[in-house]
Structure 1
Amino acid sequence: MANRITTLFGIKYPIIQAGMVWNSGWQLASASSNSGILGLIGAGSMYPDVLREHIQKCKKATHKPFGVNVPMLYPNIQEIMDIIVEEGVKIVFTSAGNPKTWTAWLKERGITVVHVVSSVKFALKAQEAGVDAIVAEGFEAGGHNGRDETTTLTLIPMVKEQIQIPIVAAGGIATGSGMLATMILGADGVQIGSRFVASNESSAHQDFKKVVVDAKEGDTQLTLKELAPVRLIKNKFYNQVQDLYKTAPTVEQLKALLGRARAKRGMFEGDLEEGELEIGQIAGLIHDIKPVATIVQDIIMAFEMAKKNVSNL
């Protein structure tokens, strides 16, 4: 299944396991890479020394390529980038910031750079900044999301029309048929998050994984757009947010309700009532918890079957 993405990363299948906070430690990343896709460590939930430990453990657990996803909104970003270089990581996915800030610095050190965007405007900015590829993420995605609510179905062809570098589709993809659909629309590969949350190797709390498996259509909602848009499973905390919105709250009031470490409490510690439970709309199609290797093989088999079915139309 060789194409621009498999060639760029040196992987077997054009699939990237998303670097998700509190879900994507070294075990998930190494298992993903060993399965023929690109595994990512999610640095967004890690202090610098913890990130170094995860990188070192990942290097011992796999000899295949893996990368680190770095949201660029943290104060210790320089230390994080220095650790990535010191530990010899060759692939970095950046998000939540201006791609010009770090792309040249990383590429000068021999690192392949991919930036996550949610619009054509920012795809063009990322291409101008010199990134090697982009992840175009639609409104369906879990976690922090774009403000424009552009769906993957419309985002991918609009981005494809404007840029020349490889495109990785993200948002609402958990199956082989979904992968094929986005590639038909112009993507060179896919980034999958929610499906890998519900894997044996995910660092998410088992209770959170079960909530993901039990989720149905309509159980998630994008909210907190005044701070940073985030898609959440509806729970007690989500209902508190909605009740606060009825009072026309200030940004400060929203921040006060959110507090600190909500995502950790929900996804990592398993507080299903007061925690922030980030997952994509596609959770409604996720029905079990499996090893990463099985998930990848299921996706590839379904992808090949979908191709045959399309040819028969």
Structure 2
Amino acid sequence: MTIHNRVTSLLGVEHPIVQAPMGWIARSQLAAAVSNAGGMGIIETSSGELDTIRTELRKMRELTDKPFGVNIALSYVRDPGIVQFVVEQGIRFVTTSAGDPTRYCAALKEAGLTVFHVVPTLAGALKAVAAGVDGLIVEGGEGGGFKNQRDVASMVLLPLVCSKVDVPVIAAGGFCDGASMAAAFALGAEGIQMGTRMLSAVESPVHDNWKQAIVNAGETDTVFLNRGGKGPALRALRTERTTRLQEQSPDNIMAEFAGVQQLYFGGNMEAAVPLTGQVCGRIDSIKPVKSIIEETIHDFHRIVDGMATRYGIRR
């Protein structure tokens, strides 16, 4: 059930499934599980803890011999030597996000790396392609985390971007299984990125309180925060704190992450903002990464083949 396309070729993976670069979460424990299951594990740098990240990259090479990558969240880079840092670690695949794709693209490409940039709009996609990226991660507003304040749903954004660019596209925002992967491919993508689904996996390092909250959540149990305020917009799980923030935007949304460690690893769901996508409403169990990826690929083929049979499509 191997899929051969531009994404698997460029990334060197068996399955075109990428794990989202969630701050403090996307580290060796989770990323190695994704890579070992045939997907693309990603190590985050948005936390700014580069000494820790260096250790995590060393652990990755102990835990897997499969391809993995690093994300550079452009707006949150604290070390001007981030490109050199990534190159020195021997990384071959980088995703860039949350900022101007021209900032580091040329330097990363000159070093021989494959670069995909995360975009929330068509204008952003065209700018990234002009900057020379190898591919795009097209992220709809359903996804958890930091968002464009003028959010666009994947159902609209994905086919729009795919109709205007020639580079391979990975779909993000609302993807968690074979059905959603098949939909992404029908709309022009050649891969998917999973955030909330991996956040709730067995190997995710976050506290079980957050994972269980995802399992218990319905499709309306996220909130879109800071629309029109200073700084980025956010999609997060509905809690007492985030409901209050939805009703009245704070002067500084980033200050709401002061208690992030107590939320992520201590399980206090009111300590900070639990970034989570709308797809939480479709997740009903906590599973190992290997099972998530295997079931996704199996169901993808079953659904695609079933549609071809049902509608008399000859391949």
| Matched residue SS, 2:25 | coil
Choose which of 115, 124, 127 in structure 2 pairs with 1:125: 127
Shift of 1:137: 0.3
Q: Is the 8 A contact 2:224 2:246 kept in 1?
A: no
The aligned counterpart of 1:249 is none
Work out whether 1:293 is the aligned partner of 2:290.
yes
Q: Which amino acid aligns with 2:155?
A: L
The aligned counterpart of 2:205 is 203
CA distance in 1 between partners of 2:219 and 2:30 (Å): 26
Work out whether 1:180 is the aligned partner of 2:182.
yes
Q: Is the 8 A contact 1:22 1:204 kept in 2?
A: no
Q: Which stretch of structure 1 is more off in the superposition, 236-245 or 102-111? A: 236-245
Work out whether 1:307 is the aligned partner of 2:304.
yes
Q: Which stretch of structure 1 is more off in the superposition, 13-22 or 175-184? A: 13-22
- Structure 1 residues 125, 150: CA separation in 2 closer, same or farther (over 3 Å shift)? same
| Matched residue SS, 1:296 | helix
- Structure 1 residues 163, 84: CA separation in 2 closer, same or farther (over 3 Å shift)? same
* 1:117-149 Cα shifts (integer Å, max 9, x gaps): 001100000000000100000011001112222
Q: Which amino acid aligns with 2:84?
A: D
- Structure 1 residues 243, 156: CA separation in 2 closer, same or farther (over 3 Å shift)? closer
| Matched residue SS, 2:182 | helix
Q: Is the 8 A contact 1:263 1:278 kept in 2?
A: no
Shift of 1:262: 4.1
Is there any run of 5+ residues in structure 1 with no aligned partner, and where?
Answer: 246-252
Choose which of 101, 104, 107 in structure 1 pairs with 2:106: 104
TM-score (norm 2): 0.93
Q: Which amino acid aligns with 1:211?
A: A
Q: Is the 8 A contact 1:241 1:257 kept in 2?
A: no
The aligned counterpart of 1:116 is 118
Map 1:245-264 → 2, pairs under 5 A: 245=249, 253-255=250-252, 258-264=255-261
Shift of 1:80: 3.2
Q: Is the 8 A contact 1:267 1:278 kept in 2?
A: no
CA distance in 2 between partners of 1:74 and 1:54 (Å): 19
Alignment identity in percent? Answer: 36
Map 1:30-69 → 2, pairs under 5 A: 30-69=32-71
CA distance in 2 between partners of 1:67 and 1:240 (Å): 36
Q: Is the 8 A contact 1:38 1:65 kept in 2?
A: yes
- Structure 1 residues 268, 45: CA separation in 2 closer, same or farther (over 3 Å shift)? farther
The aligned counterpart of 2:13 is 11
CA distance in 2 between partners of 1:275 and 1:204 (Å): 13
The aligned counterpart of 1:283 is 280
| Matched residue SS, 2:75 | coil
Work out whether 1:237 is the aligned partner of 2:234.
no
Shift of 1:256: 7.2
CA distance in 2 between partners of 1:239 and 1:27 (Å): 31
| Matched residue SS, 2:252 | helix
Q: Is the 8 A contact 1:92 1:111 kept in 2?
A: yes
Query: What RMSD, in angstroms, separates the aligned Cα atoms of the two structures?
Result: 1.5
TM-score (norm 1): 0.93
Is there any run of 5+ residues in structure 2 with no aligned partner, and where?
Answer: none
Shift of 1:290: 1.3
The aligned counterpart of 1:248 is none
Q: Is the 8 A contact 1:48 1:79 kept in 2?
A: no
CA distance in 2 between partners of 1:139 and 1:67 (Å): 24
Shift of 1:42: 1.8
CA distance in 1 between partners of 2:277 and 2:215 (Å): 12
Shift of 1:242: 3.3
Q: Is the 8 A contact 2:174 2:279 kept in 1?
A: yes
CA distance in 2 between partners of 1:52 and 1:270 (Å): 26
- Structure 1 residues 266, 2: CA separation in 2 closer, same or farther (over 3 Å shift)? same
Q: Which stretch of structure 1 is more off in the superposition, 71-80 or 218-227? A: 71-80
Shift of 1:239: 2.7
Work out whether 1:270 is the aligned partner of 2:270.
no
* 1:255-306 Cα shifts (integer Å, max 9, x gaps): 1783443444323332112321111000011111111111111111111111
